Amino acid sequence: MPELRKDPIIGRWVIISTERGKRPSEFERARPAPKSGFCPFCPGHEDKTPPEILGYRKDNGAPDTGGWHVRVVPNKYPALKVEGNLDRVGDGVYDRMNGIGAHEVVIESPGHKDSLSTIPIEQFEEILWSYRDRIIDLKKDDRLRYVLIFKNHGEAAGATLEHSHSQIIALPIIPKRVAEELDGAKAYYEYKERCIFCDIIRQEIMQASRVVAENSDFIAITPYAPKSPFEVWILPKQHEANFENCQKHHYENLSVFFSEILKRMDKVLNFPPYNFILHTAPIRNGDLNFYHWHFELMPKLTRVAGFEWGSGFYINPTSPEEAAKFLREAKI
């Protein structure tokens, strides 16, 4: 059983995924992702993944058969397990609990070579709907407190399979970075009685220098204090804490917008590897007036990592104003 452990000093939880246990020799030198001809995510190989949790099919065909355009399946090597109890226990100064949760894979398209920046808008929209549908479903599990949705694109950004996919991890704790955002946003709200993200959007529109793109419902900005070059945040202009509570037309609009941002990034940075993370409110907190869902998108351009991990301190060689200008002016 994987274990969730809490750092007693800074309060960060980590998963010790013992069943993925790696012996030292397995770490020796970062290995290239297996590039064998066989892909378990391709159509026709539906029996090579654990049974599907969700499948969108035009013909309403049976689960784990072909004809799908988006498929959500359990991760074959899950970092967390669905069965069991949390069993929170102390051990002297330490705290741990069982690694209860869900770890799922969203297979974003049947095409092995497809990527988010090139697939049709309708396909992109389906992926957003699958995120939403999974959050709604995972909310029903009382043990869970947060649904983390993210994508690693490209080997350098941590993708181990080439076929385009994102991941969903449902957790019995709130990840530290999200907890910090919630705390910071709440403190601001208590002082100003305004959502800090709404204030940021207003100021960014006024100043314009960090705006990458904008449409009626969404804005993309390079954040004022980015931890990495060309980091981009995509936010809904209208206040909403929970991604899963968007209006239908927002998903339509977001798929067009998100696709455009990825195309701009591909153009300016020559198809970079990247990560994105959906920051949305915890699933047990109801509608929050101080939080505002958004996507954080980070191209993987620099290699330095250990130092930043350890210090929480970042040196960024590109100003967000400059990055926004390049992205804004890209001819796509």
Q: Where does this chain touch a second copy (CB under 8 A) — which range of 34-42, 62-70, 88-96, 247-255? A: 88-96
Tell me phi and psi for residue 102, to 5 degrees: -120, 145
Is residue 15 near a second copy by the rule CB under 8 A? yes
Shortest Cβ 203–a second copy spacing (Å): 4
211-216: list long-range contacts, CB under 8 Å, 24+ apart. 211/324, 211/328, 212/261, 212/264, 212/324, 212/327, 212/328, 213/257, 213/260, 213/261, 213/264, 213/327, 213/328, 215/253, 215/256, 215/257, 216/253
Nearest to residue 160, comparing CAs of 70, 39, 326? Answer: 39
Give the binding-site size for a second copy (rule: CB under 8 A).
95
Is residue 56 near a second copy by the rule CB under 8 A? no
165 is catalytic: yes
Is residue 304 near a second copy by the rule CB under 8 A? yes
Shortest Cβ 176–a second copy spacing (Å): 4
Q: Where does this chain touch a second copy (CB under 8 A) — which range of 2-10, 43-51, 53-61, 239-247? A: 2-10
Shortest Cβ 74–a second copy spacing (Å): 16
Choice from 53, 70, 72, 79 touching a second copy (CB under 8 A): 79
Choice from 16, 121, 161, 256 touching a second copy (CB under 8 A): 16
Shortest Cβ 134–a second copy spacing (Å): 17
Give the whole-angstrom CA distance, residue 153 versus residue 243: 21
Q: Which CB, 13 or 68, lies closer to a second copy?
A: 13
Q: Encode burial over 248-286: b for 16+ CB neighbours within 10 A, e otherwise.
A: eebbbbbbebbbbbbebbbbbbeebbbbbbbbbbbbeee
Question: Which of the residues are catalytic?
Answer: 165
